[in-house]
Chains A and B, each alone.
Chain A
């Protein structure tokens, strides 16, 4: 079993280029690679080069802060990288995507406000319609107002939610697509 494992690791590492193996050997990252892997790399480099280059001091733990700074850039920093890239995209303008995202956020808020106001002005009409079903019974007047307000709250809330989250989601989707396109350009 152990010889199978060793052979498997050997075959995998043997497919790497000599430069990659030298870098791996010299980096000496013992968090990422096992002692067996280093033993096999040493063997392969000895076969290929005739001698093994000197090794750096072993890396026994990763510096998480540096990795996190690189991979989890704040949104602004990441977007600056995308929009100031030396190899810009051909079919679209990243600046336009950011501009559109800003205006989608503003439109989302405006849509909520206008939905509430427009529905608010429908309340008297709605109350008259509901009241008409009671065949003019005065006792139903207050009930009609109450029902009209309930319908207003429900329809305004529903419209607002649909407009707000749709527009916000579109902005987020566009930024994600832009980041995916940027990553595809980096190879």
Chain B
């Protein structure tokens, strides 16, 4: 399928699917940024009470709290990456479905022209 032919073939359904694909692509980045931003309040909260105790002292006395904190940050970050990958995958999948249908239509129209 070429660029110029694609414009002639796009139906309302194709455009709708492509619109969803575009939204999914945008939402992928929104979710990634949102999940990364969720780390900030937790980090700032930790910053507020950690100086009074000291990080080294805290690791020595309560290592589980520090590890729990780090794991929760990694969890937020990983969720953002997973959301990004899944929404990007959905976007690509929808584009591929539209392209496949357009290819089949182009082939069918080319076949009927020959007849």
Contact = CB atoms under 8 A, between A and B. Distances in A.
A114 B104 contact: no
B1 A96 contact: no
A97 B92 CA distance: 7
Contacts of B68: 121
A167 interface: yes
A103 interface: yes
A91 B95 contact: yes
Contacts of B18: 91
Interface stretch (B30-38, B54-62, B73-81): B73-81
B42 interface: no
A117 B73 CA distance: 12
B47 interface: no
Contact of A177 (B88, B97, B104): B97
Interface residues of B, number: 31
Given A100-B92, A167-B85, A167-B86, A91 B98 contact: yes
B96 A181 contact: yes
A100 B85 contact: yes
A100 B84 CA distance: 10
B71 A177 contact: no
Contact of B96 (A104, A121, A177): A177
B103 A114 contact: no
Interface residues of A, number: 31
Given A104-B85, A107-B85, A185 B78 contact: no
B71 A184 contact: no
Interface string B4-24: 001000000000001000000
Interface in A146-169: 163, 166-167
Contact of A114 (B71, B88, B93): B71
Contact of A104 (B89, B97, B100): B89
Contact of B86 (A121, A170, A184): A170
B2 interface: yes
A180 interface: yes
Contacts of B86: 166-167, 170
Interface of A: 89-92, 96-97, 100, 103-104, 107, 110-111, 114, 117-118, 121, 124, 163, 166-167, 170-171, 173-174, 177-178, 180-181, 184-185, 187
29 contacts: A89-B1, A89-B96, A89-B99, A90-B1, A90-B2, A90-B6, A90-B99, A91-B96, A97-B92, A97-B96, A104-B85, A104-B89, A107-B78, A107-B85, A110-B81, A114-B74, A114-B75, A118-B75, A121-B67, A121-B71, A163-B82, A167-B85, A167-B86, A177-B97, A180-B96, A184-B100, A184-B104, A187-B107, A187-B110
Would you list the 4 A-B pairs with minimal beta carbon distance, nearest first? A184-B103, A92-B95, A91-B95, A177-B96
